[in-house]
Amino acid sequence: MLSLILAFYNYSPLNPKPPFVGLQNFINLWSDQVFHKSFFNTLKFVAIAVSANLVLAVLIAVSINSIAKKFFKNFFRTLYFLPTIAPLVAVSLIWATMFDPNYGVVNMVLGLFGKHTMIYWLTSDRLALLSVVIVTLWADLGYNIVILMAGLDSIPKMFYEAARIDGANRFHTFWEITLPLLTRTLLFVSVMTVISYFQVFTQVQVMTNGGPDYSSEVLAFTIYKDAFRFMKMGYASAISVILLGVIMVVSVLQLKLGKADWEY
């Protein structure tokens, strides 16, 4: 609410009496090339990271859930969940070291497979945002896997037994039973993931600082820069209002499109 009010002022902590500017902060955004770039970077990041997260989380959750022995099932569930409890700043610092073009583990591993070209993961305008996506998936995937496994456990076994009697193979069982009956859990996971990824910040600040040439700058980082580096809090508040509006619209669309009206 405070951000919404500040968006109509030229507020700065250095000015005790900020002038009212109406919609000027929002008008200025239309000609701000940095805002345009960070806006489209955010959309690109959310589209790639959320899609990859959901596909990988579903596949891994189904694979772990198919393990018969409870010990190994719990082992893999814990293994995938562990990265989510690690501090994101520390994770980002470690991955930044691993992405080092000269001494990083990632390039060394690729070299073992014949890829000896030096890859500048964090300083290439084509790869910087992709590097942030990779780190985000590694750090965040386990959370969705655990929730999806809970959703898989809630599906009644009688549907699988009926499919087995009818001679359905694994793919048809997954496509016709598992996926449709997992839609409510998937809807919750996708909405929460989209909201979270629209606010991505830590990885960007630690690993790329928004560079090179704003290629990995996202809206949350632009808000931080304008508010605390350039002391343009009114302008930063206007960006945060835009971000809030985008999140609300996308979330409502997800809830509308993903609504399931079945019962079992």
Mean pLDDT estimate for the chain: 89
Output the pLDDT for position 262: 63
* Mean pLDDT for the stretch of residues 196-222: 92
Instruction: Report the pLDDT value the prediction gives residue 18, as an integer from 0 to 100.
Output: 77
Write out the two tokens for 226.
Answer: 């304008």
**pLDDT tens across 212-253, in order?**
889 999 999 999 999 888 888 888 999 999 999 999 999 999
**What are the contacts of 97-103 at 24+ separation with CB within 8 A?**
99/131, 99/207
pLDDT at 21: 78
Task: Note the pLDDT of residue 263.
Answer: 65
For position 264, what pLDDT does the model report?
A: 63
DSSP letter string, 175-220: IIIIHHHTHHHHHHHHHHHHHHHHT--HHIIIIITT-STTTT--HH
Is residue 95 scored above 90 in pLDDT? yes
* CA dist., res. 240 & res. 245, Å (int): 9
Structure-token match 């891994």, residue found? 60
| Structure token digits, residue 167 | 């001679």
Band (pLDDT 50/70/90 cuts) for residue 115 is: low
Q: Is 240 helix (H, G, I), strand (E, B) or coil?
A: helix
Provide the 10 A C-beta neighbour count for residue 193.
19
Which tops the pLDDT comparison, 28 or 89?
89
pTM over 0.75: yes
Q: Is the pLDDT at 43 greater than 90, yes or no? A: yes
Can you list the alpha helix ranges (DSSP code H) found in 30-68? 33-65
